[in-house]
Amino acid sequence: MSDSSPLPPVRLRSEAELARDALAAPLLSRAARLARWAGPDTRVGGGGELVEEQLPAAAEVLGLTGEDAAALASEAWRVAVDTGLVEIVDEEEGTVTRGADLALLTSGSPNDVLAVWLGALETVLADASVPDLDDLVDAMDEGGEIDLSSLDWDPEAEADFLDGVLANLYLLTVSEEGPGDGPVPLPALAASMIVPDDMGDPTNDVLEQVSDAMMRLDDQFRILEPIGLVDFEPVDEALMADPEEDPAAAVDETDVSRYGMVRLTPLGLYGMRARLLEAGMAAPAVGELADKGADALLDGTSVFPPAAAQAEIEQWLARREPLTAARELLDAARGSDAGAPLRRLRCQQALSLVGPEAEPALREVLDDAELGGLARVWLAERGVADVPAPPESMIFWLTIDTVAAQLAAEGNSAELQGLVEGLAAQHSGFFATVWRVDHPATPDVLEAMGRLHPDKKLAKEARKAAFKARSQQGN
């Protein structure tokens, strides 16, 4: 997982809330209880695992019963050792003591708690990539050694697959068009890793691969849920029954929830973002820009989806006086670089959230060629009196700037096509005038209008105007 293109920003809970979630995660809670239970008589094997004869006592401490009690206790002990809640004193003697990090869970900062939880998450993710016990037993030779070649198991490929699935789940969760807090069907998540984007109807072979991946993920998410990474509804076991052998097992196969549903918890979002950042990916979080300058805010939110951009801007404004904020935003919105139109669009979005106290800042830029147009829009929307009418050159400059910003933000969208049609219809001789506008984006905007306008005659006029504008600018 390494990519320079930013993911949509995630909205995270506060560290204090996340730390409480981490402490409440069943597996970390069990690991901490075992670490407090460990004493001079506790013994471990060569790999740090709790010796078999002490597993019943460990299970009893955790209140675990049933056939899985020993395995669950062993898992919790392994997390305790891997996260430093327990330290091995003497490997030969197998003695242990409470680890220094155990105190962090009660007296450390929320960040300290989350660091311990992230360590536990790595342990569990490694466990989730290992074949299940039955497969390991089948692969054991007469000497008790495991023949990995007989498992058809590639540890690196298995870990990469799970990383990819979790990254896709994260992307679906943070995308504005995704399910948000809602769960994702397991078949859809498996298909996202198996089915090529350009494939029409999947072949039987591909569908079989998706089914195999879905069942593998069912096992893996069962392992990941106790650490608090996901909320998981497993595959309905009735789906695996043979209806001919067990007619009572017939189920509604159109009910997608019976094939498993999963969602990242708020803590899981935090954990996945931390892993993505560690892997070199740009994974912003809403609120990161709140203490930075207006230039960082406008540049940063230029790649955010609209709702996330507004949330980020609201947090930024909450820390500043309206008049000061407006002046900072207007100053940061200036520029003739390629990103400037989108900065000004985000500036307009930010200023729309500022109260009437900002009026002096907007009046100060009425004569500014780059900002005078948007300042007049702001003042007019609030019914402010004595606002001078803009010169025609400013109107056309703002038009080009607005279309350039929309192109950068949305590409050739239906909304932009509607804007283009409206502009050409409202202004007689629009293309005969607009090519003269002294704006760096004029040629590109006119070329886009030529592509987008459905009227062939007007589209041709736009392309001619684009040629004139490019010639005028010497490009």
The pLDDT confidence band at residue 126, using thresholds 50, 70 and 90, is very high
Establish how many alpha carbons lie within 13 A of residue 94's alpha carbon, considering only the half-sphere containing its beta carbon: 13
Using an 8 Å Cβ cutoff, are 229 and 271 in contact?
Answer: yes
Q: So what's the pLDDT on residue 243?
A: 54
Looking at the DSSP bridge assignments, the partners of residue 28 are: none
Q: So what's the pLDDT on residue 394?
A: 92
Lowest mean pLDDT among 125-134, 219-228, 356-365: 125-134
Range ranked top by mean pLDDT from 47-61, 136-150, 152-166, 169-183: 47-61
Question: For residue 325, is pLDDT > 80?
Answer: yes
Mean residue pLDDT of the chain comes to 88
Per-residue pLDDT, averaged over 221-232, amounts to: 96
Q: How many CB atoms lie within 10 A of CB 47?
A: 8
Q: How large is the greatest C-alpha to C-alpha distance in the chain, in angstroms?
A: 94
Per-residue model confidence as pLDDT tens digits over 384-433: 988 999 999 999 999 999 999 988 887 767 777 777 777 777 777 888 88
Q: How far is CA 105 from CA 35, 50, 186, 226, 273, in A?
A: 11, 22, 34, 18, 22
Q: So what's the pLDDT on residue 416?
A: 77
Per-residue model confidence as pLDDT tens digits over 91-109: 889 999 999 999 999 999 9
Per-residue pLDDT, averaged over 37-54, amounts to: 92
pTM, entire model: 0.82
Question: For residue 133, is pLDDT > 70?
Answer: no
Per-residue pLDDT, averaged over 123-141, amounts to: 69
Q: Which residue has the higher pLDDT, 459 or 139?
A: 459
Question: For residue 136, is pLDDT > 50?
Answer: no
Whole-angstrom distance, CA of residue 475 vs CA of residue 464:
15
Q: So what's the pLDDT on residue 137?
A: 47
What is the crossing angle of helices 442-452 and 414-426, to 10°?
100
